[in-house]
Amino acid sequence: MIITAALLLVARPKFALALSPITSGPTFAKVIALTFDDGPHPFHTPQLLDLLDSFQIKATFFVVGVKAAENPFILKNIVKRGHVLGNHSWSHPNLSKLEGKEVEEQIRFCNQAIKAITETPPRFFRPPGGNWNNRTLDIANKLGLQTVLWTINGYDAGFDSYSPQALAKTVIRRATPGAIVLLHDGGNFTLAALPLIINTLRKEGYSFVTLEQMLHKPIKPISLAHSN
């Protein structure tokens, strides 16, 4: 009996890669996964990590391989602080417009950079710009990656007329149990919106989890509420 219990504790639930992209987690618990694309950045990422620490929140970072290779200590720090890394290609091209071999290299090189620096290969992949086709999914799948898109796009990249308050409102208004929120590891704009997003959604009873927690492990709403 004890041996069986011990085995259950160490055994990771086998996660079958879905061929279609995942756009949300299970909806039975009030959990939300914040995801940050396009880092790591030498100035912005440390600030984002400090902010997440101050709220005791773990998130998921979809990193660009070439930036990861340029900022290995920041990449390690993301993992050290308990966050999850995902693959966001090697150099952020539109993968739906590349030849199959180039797509494969874009995804594989990013995997290799993450593994070389952190000793752990990523499990999740998000195509740059959300541009994908069946071939993209197939290649990611063959490289052992689950493609993950998002439930809520915060539109925090490239929208000049947008304010941090408007960004916060967009996310808060559309929040649902199991939502995956797309944000960017890109600077003050997102950093300014995050406290409002986090505080408001916590008041509404939401907890924040990584994609690993949301998609791989059985979610227990009560214990998650305590840890976040």
Q: Is 37 a catalytic residue?
A: yes
Chain residue at closest Cβ approach to Zn ion? 37
39, 40, 86, 128: which one contacts Zn ion (CB under 5 A)? 128
Interatomic CA distance for residues 60 and 74, integer angstroms: 14
Cβ at position 185, least distance to Zn ion in Å: 9
Residue 104 interacting with Zn ion (CB under 5 A):
no
Cβ pair 95, 115 in contact under 8 A: no
Place of tokens 């990422």: 45
Question: Of the two residues 22 and 201, which places its CB atom closer to Zn ion in the complex?
Answer: 22
Using an 8 Å Cβ cutoff, are 85 and 118 in contact? Answer: yes
Q: Containing H/E element for 134?
A: helix 134-142
Query: How far is the C-alpha of 20 from the C-alpha of 144, rounded, in Å?
Result: 14
3 C-beta neighbours (distance < 10 Å), count:
7
What is the phi/psi pair of residue 44, to 5°?
-70, -45
Tell the smallest beta-carbon distance from residue 149 to Zn ion (Å). 12
| Binding piece for Zn ion, criterion CB under 5 A, among 45-53, 127-135, 168-176, 202-210 | 127-135
Instruction: Decide whether 25 or 65 has the Cβ nearer to Zn ion.
Output: 65
Please say which residue, 79 or 149, places its beta carbon nearer to Zn ion: 149
Pairwise CA distance, residues 136 & 150, whole Å:
17
State in angstroms the smallest separation of the CB of 37 from Zn ion: 4
Q: How far is the CB of 204 from Zn ion (least distance, A)?
A: 28
77 or 153, CB closer to Zn ion? 153
Cβ nearer to Zn ion, comparing 130 with 195: 130
Number of residues that bind Zn ion (CB under 5 A): 3
Residues β-bridged to residue 152: 181
User: Which residue among 88, 184, 185, 216 is the active-site one?
Assistant: 184
In the block, residue with structure tokens 């004890």:
2
Beta carbons of 145 and 88 less than 8 angstroms apart: no
Q: What span, in angstroms and rounded, lies between the C-alpha atoms of 42 and 2?
A: 47
Catalytic residue at 44? no
Instruction: Give, as ranges, the residues between 12 and 71 that touch Zn ion (CB under 5 A).
Output: 37-38
**Shortest distance (Å) from residue 64 CB to Zn ion:** 7
What's the rounded Cα separation, in Å, for the pair 19 and 8?
Answer: 27
Give the binding range for Zn ion (CB under 5 A) out of 48-56, 122-130, 148-156, 171-179: 122-130
Residues at the site binding Zn ion, with contacts judged by CB under 5 A:
37-38, 128
Catalytic residues: 37, 184
